[in-house]
Amino acid sequence: MAEMPICRWGIVATGGISEQFVRDLLMSDWPEKKANHIIQAIGSSSLEKCKSFAATCVTPAKPAVQPALYGSYQEVYDDKNVDCVYIGTPHSFHKRNCLDAIEAGKNILCEKPFALNATEAEEVFAAAKEKGVFVMEAFWTRFYPLIKTLQRLLHEERKLGTIYRTFCDFGLDIDISSLPETSRYKDPALGAGSLLDIGIYSITWGLMTLSPETGDNAEQPDVSSTQTVIDGVDVASQVLLHFRSTGRQGICTSTTTFECMHPFARLEGSEGRILVDGSTPSSPRSFTFYPKDGGKEERYEFEKPGKGFWWEADAVAQDLQAGRKQNQTMPWAETLRVLSIMDGVRKRSGTRFPVDAW
């Protein structure tokens, strides 16, 4: 058996998600741990900010290795001791950050959405292929043991019999008008909008539960959609997926105007239904199977100390150890599959980013 890999991370940006990621990786143990992680370097727009981030999230964990602290992202890319760069900037910077890291020969785990549109993502993947580095979208939810169990029950054990429909809603109550103009929830230049931020999870739930394959082998569903747009920012999206080969339908909704109800997802099939719950669709904790014949319900609960970012991080460490350039759970083609669905949704409602070609 291969030794447990060690991954030395370079963290790019010191915002909310970087803090959660770093705190998780500095935990000593978690369920099904498959790798060890070192926070090797941190880069920020300012050295002061970087130091303050490290004092808050790294120092209290007393790690054996103290990270190098930088007042720029480039120094992280250039740090010879960094195996993989984690990118936690707002969406609109992902492409630039990825290209810079690739240029320096670094492997990458980049936050969701991987880019503003599929064209941007293709550019990054082409550069990664050319340079021979690993790149993955940090779609953490897909790496939860809950998801793996659910997919096995649905697609291998046929727990629901013939799958008919999936409903998933991700709602957050965000008073966008009260936020500063520079907020990533408000500024279209930063990729603001409910679809790319949280609608991506509802679409992913539709794909994961209705379609057994991922990436290149997966069916691309027909899509219809509408969006509500206020001040150039979509605040509500409904995306309907239709898989021609099976007739399965996904009703995938999201909004920043209202917190979603719980359970947040319902899967229907010929043998019954499954309700999925957790704090948000990004972080599911349990699901319950209700048989159609009125038999006894079956509940599945999953332990999750911390936030649960280590599962994706472990997967990256294992891929790097094995010399893989893509991850099987979140391959490049799957990132493109989701982005092209979201491109279509935005095209239909006319929500454009400055970089969109249409």
Binding site for ligand NDP (CB under 6 A): 13-17, 44-45, 49, 88-91, 93, 111-112, 138, 140, 182, 184, 190, 197, 282
Q: Which of 11, 101, 121, 198 touches ligand LJPVP2WV by CB under 6 A? A: 198
Enumerate the β-bridge partners of residue 299: 288
Two structure tokens written together for 290: 């209700």
Residue 70 binds which of ligand LJPVP2WV, ligand NDP, none (CB < 5-8 A, kind-dependent): none
Residue identified by tokens 């990132």 is 335
Report the alpha-carbon angle 258-300-152, nearest 5. Answer: 100
* Closer residue to ligand NDP in complex, CB, 13/252: 13
Nearest residue to ligand NDP on Cβ basis? 15
Cα–Cα distance, 59 to 264 (Å, whole number): 36
Tell which one of 19, 83, 137, 197 touches ligand LJPVP2WV (CB under 6 A): 197
| Residue 44: contacted member of ligand NDP, ligand LJPVP2WV, none (CB under 5 to 8 Å, by partner type) | ligand NDP
- Point out which residues pair with 109 in neighbouring strands: 86, 136
- Using DSSP bridges, classify how beta strands 249-255 and 163-171 pair: parallel, antiparallel or unpaired: parallel
Secondary structure of residue 113 in the 3-state scheme: coil
Other beta carbons less than 10 A from residue 162's beta carbon: 12
The residue (of 115 and 198) whose beta carbon lies closer to ligand LJPVP2WV is 198
Q: Is 282 a residue that touches ligand LJPVP2WV (CB under 6 A)? A: yes
Token readout for 118 is 């599929």
Tell me the C-alpha to C-alpha distance, in Å, between residue 16 and each of 12, 13, 48, 57: 12, 9, 17, 11
Q: Which is nearer to ligand LJPVP2WV, 40 or 194 (CB)?
A: 194
Tokens 């970012």 locate to 309
Nearer to ligand NDP by Cβ, of 19 and 268: the residue is 19
Q: How far is CA 226 from CA 131, 208, 252, 346, in A?
A: 39, 22, 11, 9
Residue 341's CB is within 10 A of a number of other CB atoms, namely 24
Query: Among residues 25 and 160, whose Cβ is nearest to ligand NDP?
Result: 25
Q: Could you say whether residue 13 binds ligand LJPVP2WV (CB under 6 A)?
A: no
Of residues 113-172, which lie at the interface with ligand LJPVP2WV (CB under 6 A)? Answer: 172
> Minimum CB separation from ligand NDP for residue 181, in Å?
11
Say how far apart CA 330 and CA 351 lie, in whole Å. 26
Residue 198: contacted member of ligand LJPVP2WV, ligand NDP, none (CB under 5 to 8 Å, by partner type) = ligand LJPVP2WV
Instruction: Select 111 or 268, whichever has its Cβ closest to ligand NDP.
Output: 111
> Residue 140 binds which one of ligand NDP, ligand LJPVP2WV, none, with CB within 5 to 8 A depending on kind?
ligand NDP
Which residues would be at the binding site for ligand LJPVP2WV (CB under 6 A)? 172, 197-198, 280, 282
